[in-house]
């Protein structure tokens, strides 16, 4: 059973471009979470999605950031008009369900560098 | 709302010495607590978790953590450090729904030969 997969592993963008980060959850998992890890900081929750639904986006910046988890295909974290401050590692996690004892399994992350 | 504080951004121990990584939590509801390890350029790997069962939790790679409600702590320990334990360790807390997990800032463990 393959783990959580993220691609690309590294992404370089110039200011003003768009960044698309993909996350394929573990097989059978229908819950996806995105986290951002800024240099020298811990991980910050961004958004929680189930198939075709955004459940909690309280950690998402109000502008330029969006996320989706379509019925078919991976979850996408999209950053429009990137700025240097968006440079970070973005981690995706998935879980089978929510509630007691449902563990989040993390992908290897996508490291975004904005020039 | 939940939060965790990890005391010490860097911890250095000698190989074979005790490893103690500190984590204190704040939660208005019974917390679920986790320790994750992150090796360079990799994702996070779950070491262990506490979900209201036994207060002493054993995890992988010889690590364990004890939930102490009176001290609001969930410190991570290992009796004897190995060189391969060098990594960044994150403490995390969530509520029972496990939706909004909050992480500490991380503690970087260095193991000296």
pLDDT one-digit tens code per residue, B22-51? 999 998 777 889 999 988 767 788 899 888
Q: What is the mean pLDDT of chain A?
A: 89
Report the b/e string of A73-109 with b at 16+ CB within 10 A: ebbbbebeebeeebbbbbbbbbbbebeeebebbbbbb
Chain A closest CA to B1's CA: distance in Å? Answer: 12
**Mean pLDDT of the A56-66 span:** 92
Q: Which of A36, A42, A110 to mutate to test the interface with B (most CBs of B within 10 A)?
A: A42
User: Which phi and psi angles does B84 have, rounded to 5°?
Assistant: -70, -10
Q: Where are the beta strands (DSSP E) in chain B?
A: 3-7, 10-14, 19-26, 32-38, 44-50, 56-58, 64-68, 73-78, 87-94, 102-103, 107-112
Q: Report whether pLDDT(A100) > 50.
A: no
Q: Model confidence at A65, in pLDDT bands (50, 70, 90)?
A: very high
Nearest-angstrom CA–CA distance, A81 and A61: 13
pLDDT digits (tens, 9 = 90+) for A19-32: 999 999 998 888 99
Q: With contact defined as beta carbons under 8 Å apart, do B102 and B92 qualify?
A: yes
Q: Report whether pLDDT(A101) > 60.
A: no
Task: Please tell me the least confidently modeled range out of A73-82, A97-106, B12-21.
Answer: A97-106
Q: Do A98 and B99 touch (CB under 8 A)?
A: yes
pLDDT digits (tens, 9 = 90+) for B45-82: 889 988 877 889 999 999 999 999 999 999 999 999 99
Q: Report whether pLDDT(B12) > 90.
A: yes
Instruction: Quote the pLDDT of residue B97.
Output: 63
Is the pLDDT higher at A71 or at A39? A71
Q: Report whether pLDDT(A1) > 60.
A: no
Instruction: Quote the pLDDT of residue B42.
Output: 75
Q: Report whether pLDDT(A6) > 70.
A: yes
Q: Which of A75, A77, A91, A87 is nearest to A113 (CA)?
A: A87
Chain A closest CA to B99's CA: distance in Å? Answer: 7
Task: Please tell me the least confidently modeled range out of A39-53, B64-78, B79-93.
Answer: A39-53
Instruction: Quote the pLDDT of residue B96.
Output: 67
By percentage, how much of chain A surpasses pLDDT 90?
63
Instruction: Quote the pLDDT of residue B65.
Output: 97
Q: Do A100 and B96 touch (CB under 8 A)?
A: yes
């Amino acid at each position: 059973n393959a783990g959580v997969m993220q691609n690309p592993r590294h992404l370089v963008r110039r200011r003003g471009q768009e960044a698309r980060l993909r996350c394929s959850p573990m097989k059978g998992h229908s819950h996806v979470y995105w986290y951002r890890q800024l240099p020298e900081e811990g991980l910050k929750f961004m958004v929680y999605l189930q198939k075709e639904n955004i459940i909690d986006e309280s950690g998402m910046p109000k502008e330029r950031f969006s996320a989706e988890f379509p019925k078919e295909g991976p979850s996408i974290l999209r950053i429009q008009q990137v700025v240097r401050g968006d440079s970070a590692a973005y981690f995706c996690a998935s879980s089978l369900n929510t509630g007691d004892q449902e563990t989040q399994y993390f992908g290897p992350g996508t490291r975004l560098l904005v020039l | 709302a939940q939060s965790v504080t990890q005391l010490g951004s860097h911890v250095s121990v000698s190989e074979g010495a005790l490893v103690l990584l500190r984590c204190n939590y704040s939660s208005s509801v019974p917390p679920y607590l986790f320790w994750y390890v992150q090796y360079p350029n990799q994702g996070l790997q779950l070491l262990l978790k506490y979900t209201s069962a036994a207060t002493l939790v054993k995890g992988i790679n010889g690590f364990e953590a004890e939930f102490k409600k009176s001290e609001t702590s969930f410190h991570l320990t290992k009796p004897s450090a190995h060189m391969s334990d060098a990594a960044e360790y994150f403490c995390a807390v969530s509520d029972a729904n496990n939706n909004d997990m909050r992480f500490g800032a991380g503690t970087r463990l260095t193991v000296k030969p």
